[in-house]
Amino acid sequence: MLAQLTGVITKKGPGRYFARCLELEIDCEGSTEEEAKNRLINAVQEYIDSLCETKELRAGKAARPGLKRELVPEKNSKVFEMPSHLILH
């Protein structure tokens, strides 16, 4: 089964952006929208790599597709799909 990962970026103030992967509940911050997004992608990649090393990903102990947290976007939020190479198998 494949699970598409979803990210949300929210502007929290001048030069402060908050990014979250909804399925994995991984958070990052950045001074620009692009920096927050890139930090989140890197953090998710590291998390997936660590799961693969411990074989937890194959055992189904990672994200649970379909149980995505309810999203009530804030006024300054943008939702995006994580890059396809980060899709969980």
**Segment (H or E) for 51:** helix 33-54
Q: CA 60 to CA 54: how far, in whole Å? A: 12
pLDDT less than 50: residues of the chain: 1, 59, 64-70
- The contacts of residue 3 (CB under 8 Å, 6+ apart) are 23, 63, 65, 87, 88
Record the pTM: 0.70
Class of domain 6-83: alpha beta
What integer pLDDT is reported at residue 19 of this predicted model? 95
Share of the chain above pLDDT 70, in %: 70
